[in-house]
Amino acid sequence: MSAVLRRSDDTADGFAYLVLQAALGRFGRPTAELSVTEHQEAERQAARAAAIQRRVLGRPEARAVVVAEGAVDAACSAIAARYDAHAVFVADLARNGIDEAGLRCALARELRVEATIERAAEALVSVSDTEVEIYYWAHADRFLRPERRDARHLLITVNDDYAENRRATARARIETIAAELAGNGARFGAAARRHSECPTALEDGVLGRLPRGQLYPALDAVLFSLPVGGVSGVVESPIGLHLLLCEAVHPAGMVPLASVHGKVRGLLEERRRRAFLRDWLRLGCH
Torsion of CA 106, 110, 112, 115, to 10 degrees: -160
* 35-44 pLDDT per residue, tens: 999 999 999 9
Distance CA 172, CA 178 (A): 10
Distance CA 18, CA 257 (A): 42
CA 85 remoteness from chain centre: 31
Query: Can you give the pLDDT at residue 283?
Result: 54
* 25-73 pLDDT per residue, tens: 888 888 888 899 999 999 999 998 888 888 888 878 888 888 888 999 9
Angle at which helix 100-121 crosses helix 86-95, to 10 degrees, equals: 80
Q: Where are the domains of the chain?
A: 3-122, 147-251
Segments of the chain scoring below 70 in pLDDT: 1-13, 123-124, 280-286
Query: Can you give the pLDDT at residue 282?
Result: 67
Residue 109 Cα distances to 11, 13, 68, 77, 79, angstroms: 11, 12, 11, 16, 16
Query: Can you give the pLDDT at residue 285?
Result: 44
Distance CA 244, CA 221 (A): 11
pLDDT above 70 coverage of the chain, percent: 92
* 82-111 pLDDT per residue, tens: 888 889 888 888 888 888 888 998 999 999
Q: What is the pTM of this model?
A: 0.51
> Is CATH 3.40.50.2300 correct for 147-251?
no
